[in-house]
């Protein structure tokens, strides 16, 4: 556990993700604020607590305890070779759309999710636009001729 900008941050690897989230729910963190992904392709050597190995992807979950007026951020390391984590849908059904957005933009799958399909991009879209290695293409800018 660490504090970053006054927020409590808990790090885990994929194997400990679901157990950690279950524990936080039992401690009163009843409201998920969001689930998203991060692609650290260009920042592989970032500092993490001992025992947590940096991976290319990270799933970030923000949780609130309404009774205690506390917030916690979970940062789960996800390997690029197998980018998946367990779904939090059974714990917090409100995470359904956040997990779909994370899948759509980063390609991180959530095992056990009831509908792991695209939500922002068309079904036939190739790739995941928020990955650092996604080809954004090129459209030349045309200016008026100078007199």
* pLDDT tens-place string over residues 20-61: 999 999 999 999 999 999 999 999 888 999 999 999 999 999
- Residues ≥6 apart with Cβ < 8 Å to 118: 100, 103, 104, 125
Q: Would you say the pTM of this structure is higher than 0.85?
A: yes
> Do the bridges between strand 70-78 and strand 2-4 make them parallel or antiparallel, or are there none, so unpaired?
unpaired
104 C-beta neighbours (distance < 10 Å), count: 20
* pLDDT tens-place string over residues 48-57: 999 999 999 9
Give residue 19's region: left, alpha or beta (phi > 0; psi -120 to 50). alpha
Is residue 74 included in any domain, yes or no?
yes
Q: What is the pLDDT of residue 48?
A: 94
Look at residues 69, 78, 71 and name the one whose alpha carbon lies nearest to residue 102. 78
Report the CATH number at residue 104: 3.30.460.80
Decide if pLDDT at 116 tops 70.
yes
Decide if pLDDT at 91 tops 60.
yes
Is residue 119 included in any domain, yes or no?
no
Cα–Cα distance measured from residue 85 to residue 13, given in angstroms and rounded to the nearest whole number: 9
Is residue 122 included in any domain, yes or no?
no
Is residue 126 included in any domain, yes or no?
no
* pLDDT tens-place string over residues 99-114: 999 999 999 999 999 9
Q: Which domain holds residue 48?
A: 2-111
- What average pLDDT does the chain have? 93
Is residue 106 included in any domain, yes or no?
yes
Is residue 146 included in any domain, yes or no?
no
The number of folded domains in the chain is 1
77 C-beta neighbours (distance < 10 Å), count: 21
């Amino acid at each position: 556990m660490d504090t970053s900008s006054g927020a409590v941050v808990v790090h885990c690897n994929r194997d400990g993700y679901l157990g950690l989230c279950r524990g936080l729910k039992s401690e009163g963190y009843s409201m998920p604020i969001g689930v998203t992904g991060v692609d650290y392709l260009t920042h592989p050597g970032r500092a993490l607590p001992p025992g947590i190995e940096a991976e290319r992807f990270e799933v970030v979950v923000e949780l609130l305890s309404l009774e205690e007026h506390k917030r916690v951020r979970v940062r789960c390391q996800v390997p690029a070779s197998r980018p998946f984590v367990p779904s939090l849908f059974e714990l917090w059904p409100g995470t359904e759309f956040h997990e779909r957005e994370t899948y759509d933009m980063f390609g991180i799958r959530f095992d056990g999710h009831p509908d792991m399909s695209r939500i922002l991009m068309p079904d036939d879209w190739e790739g995941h636009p928020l990955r650092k290695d996604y080809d954004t293409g090129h459209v030349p800018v045309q200016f008026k001729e100078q007199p």
